Structure 1
């Protein structure tokens, strides 16, 4: 398996996993807490968390299929960056916890840039996005 496929599968799997397990199968209390920091009620936070889980699974599947499109890779980078900034602003104490957004989002962002750079070297990306 080459580096492009490793990056593609790792990024797609991460979105799918984070959509299914802490949001759809079992809504993790931390997920609800993060959503609640914006001011939503517990009930609304629960629904928003479930919706986010569905969107994450869909994005992960789309990423697995359309990983050659620069636009989806850049969307991935933007999404991961925004989620990290959200945690930094809303719940900065999470940044020093085990398995925190820094140790998950930054490596996925790095893999995204690796995917972009490697694909450009191989000429496999859709230039139009």
Structure 2
């Protein structure tokens, strides 16, 4: 298996050097924005010795990984550039990482600071560990680092606390998943797999003919599945929430035109579609200023 490239993330933040240094070097503030750590605490430092620290990361189900680290050097260059190097390790058998090294670099650029990190580590569990690291763990860790950098950027530039951003992001992605499920289910079950007679009747009234109505229902079902998949794609969906609200309003009007009696049934188009519109509004309200890993550079070639 080929050697893995180090994890590299770079962003540019509109802030001062001192402010960014405080937000990244103060352990209490650091854990507020960095998704990789739950707790960081400095140990007592003796003169002439590197700064040692402890860190913890909760991984769920009451389990956590605890490790140690040390700042092995800090350098301030001419022009205001700063570099902070560190080494970290853990004896926890739950951790894929055994020992690693990395650095943070801060370079002033007019009223902004170019902030980047690069780090690499050795893994446990032999070939299995290297396989998991290559295809699962390292990509996720790189994504979490970039996401955290963008959350820090939004915090310093716009005042949005990372905990608020995390809640908004969870709400946003959950709504996208729910809308995706609704559209895929509606296209697959009552249209393609089990063509519902009421669906055929409503479409026949809408187009004024019963010919090919069943075949057209299946085509509509396929389009609904495609629309459901679109909700899972990684792009900014603010305009899509507008479009979705408009589509639901049109479908509600069409349902009333073709079968007004359906509005009297349990779980009828009025109640269900209002819920879908409500989800669209909530999704739209949470779709702006979300941290995204893609906003950061992930390669030196970028």
Shift in Å, 1:66:
4.9
What's the TM-score once normalised by structure 2's chain length? 0.38
Question: Number of residues paired by the alignment?
Answer: 122
* Cα distance, 1:105–1:66 mapped onto 2, change above 3 Å: farther
Equivalent position to 2:265, from 79, 89, 97: 97
Say which structure is richer in strand: 2
| Higher Cα radius of gyration | 2
Distance across 2 between alignment mates of 1:96 and 1:67: 38
Equivalent position to 2:281, from 100, 113, 126: 113
CA contact (8 A) 2:238 2:287 kept: no
Structure 2 residues without counterparts, runs of 5 or longer? 1-166, 292-302
63-72 vs 99-108, which moves further: 63-72
Equivalent position to 2:209, from 35, 40, 56: 40
Corresponding residue number in structure 1 for 2:174? 6
Corresponding residue number in structure 1 for 2:290? 124
What's the TM-score once normalised by structure 1's chain length? 0.86
Report runs of 4+ in structure 1 exceeding 6 Å deviation.
Answer: none
Equivalent position to 2:222, from 32, 36, 54: 54
Say which structure is richer in helix: 1
Corresponding residue number in structure 2 for 1:22? 190
Shift in Å, 1:99:
2.0
Distance across 2 between alignment mates of 1:67 and 1:74: 15
